[in-house]
Amino acid sequence: MSTTHPWLRQAIAEARAAGDPGRLAAAVPYAQTMGISLLLAPDGPHAGELLGVMRFGEHLIGNPVLPALHGGALCALLESTAIFQLLWESALSATPRTIGLTVEYLRSGRPVDTFARGMPTRQGRRVTNVRVEAWQDDRSRPIAVASAHFLVHSDEEPAKLES
Amino acid sequence: MSDERLDAEELARLRELGQRFMRAVPHNNALGLELRAVSEGRAEIFLPYDLRLVGNPETGVLHGGAISALMDACCGAAVFQALRKPMAIATLDLRIDYLKPAAPGRGVIARAHCYKVTRHVAFVRGVAFLDSEDDPIATSAGTFMLGTRTTSRTEGAA
């Protein structure tokens, strides 16, 4: 079952202390390989909001003819952003475990930076549901959306919930 | 069109195209994906274990995102193998259920089956496992749009 991982606690604590969520993403090898990081929205109506960002790189291309981003890369950004957001904004002691996710691809991903933001739709004691959107230049035109559900347990609800 | 069987020659040609397609996709190469087997409407792809793809450095287990990308690629490859002629495809939606974590140090095998092709849409399901398809780490179901926009007259896919 989910356990508390010291490296993760440490990464969250350091990122919070530095006010830089990117340090949390940097602690995850896969996120680094993909070019997935975290930033706080600088200004505008969403200032201070935690965003996932996937910096464009040739290694993310799934269709070299168009070219377009790989569906799997977008899926990874959506899932990672939701998990990072739960870790950053909630009092979780363990890594949320993905139970499942459904990704809808709305537009082809152009070879530029892609951003993502999740909105928890239900936060239960054991399961949290999150809707995540990914966009490029225009936040009102998402290129992919996901509904994901995660097994979580909060600091207030210790191990007795876990079988 | 889907109920006509492909003859051996066509199948061999599609297999070759499938392998070329795999190698032509930068993200598949970045993950180290290997197309291991194809037959009509079916594909098997191997994701080798790689420390760069680890999600949890303490356990050494691969990140779910890498499994998702494997599933997406394998489902797309299966659709490709179900088509009478190469055409651009694009994922419409993909659902993935994670049944259990991958094991540290172990690569993951994905198998997908495109079980229905209509004029515009292909339907596919897949499974990811370590040793046996009967003990999966993830299952998936997806739909793909066929004959999507391309900027070139040659085949392409997403």
Name the pLDDT band for A27 (thresholds 50, 70, 90): very high
Q: Which range of residues forms the domain containing residue A21?
A: 6-161
Which one, of B8, B34, B91, lies nearest residue A107 by Cα?
Answer: B91
Q: Is residue A16 part of a domain?
A: yes
Q: Is residue A1 part of a domain?
A: no
* Ranges of each domain in chain B: 8-146
pLDDT at residue A51 in the model: 95
In this structure, are residues B109 and B44 in contact, taking their beta carbons and an 8 Å threshold? yes
CATH 3.10.129.10 fits B8-146, yes or no: yes
ipTM of the complex: 0.85
pLDDT at residue A160 in the model: 44
Q: Is residue A122 part of a domain?
A: yes
pLDDT at residue B38 in the model: 86
Å from A57 to nearest chain B CA? 10
- Asked if the C-beta of B99 comes within 8 angstroms of chain A's C-beta atoms, the answer is no
In angstroms, the CA A115 to CA A58 distance is: 17
Interface test with A, best of B49, B63, B153, B155 (most A CBs within 10 A): B63
The H or E element containing residue B99 is none
Contacts of B149 in chain A (CB under 8 A): 66, 108
- Percent residues over pLDDT 70 in chain B: 90
- Inter-chain contact A65–B88, Cβ cutoff 8 Å? yes
Pairing, β A61-63 against β A68-69: antiparallel
Distance separating the N- and C-terminal Cα atoms of chain A: 7
Strand partners, B37: B44
Total domains, chain A: 1
Which one, of A96, A93, A10, A136, lies nearest residue B63 by Cα?
Answer: A96
Contacts of B64 in chain A (CB under 8 A): 76, 79, 98
Which one, of B134, B115, B108, lies nearest residue B54 by Cα?
Answer: B108
- Inter-chain contact B150–A104, Cβ cutoff 8 Å? no
Contacts of A163 in chain B (CB under 8 A): none
pLDDT in tens, B92-151: 999 999 999 889 999 999 999 999 999 999 999 999 999 999 999 999 999 999 987 655
- Asked if the C-beta of B51 comes within 8 angstroms of chain A's C-beta atoms, the answer is yes
- The token pair that represents A93 in the structure block: 């002691």
Å from B155 to nearest chain A CA? 8
Q: Which of B7-21, B50-64, B70-84 has the lowest mean pLDDT?
A: B7-21
- Inter-chain contact A105–B91, Cβ cutoff 8 Å? yes
User: In this structure, what CATH number is given to the domain that contains residue A70?
Assistant: 3.10.129.10
For the cut 80, the answer to whether the pLDDT of residue A118 exceeds it is yes
- Inter-chain contact B56–A5, Cβ cutoff 8 Å? yes
In this structure, are residues B98 and B139 in contact, taking their beta carbons and an 8 Å threshold? no
pLDDT in tens, A125-159: 889 999 999 999 999 999 999 999 999 875 544 44
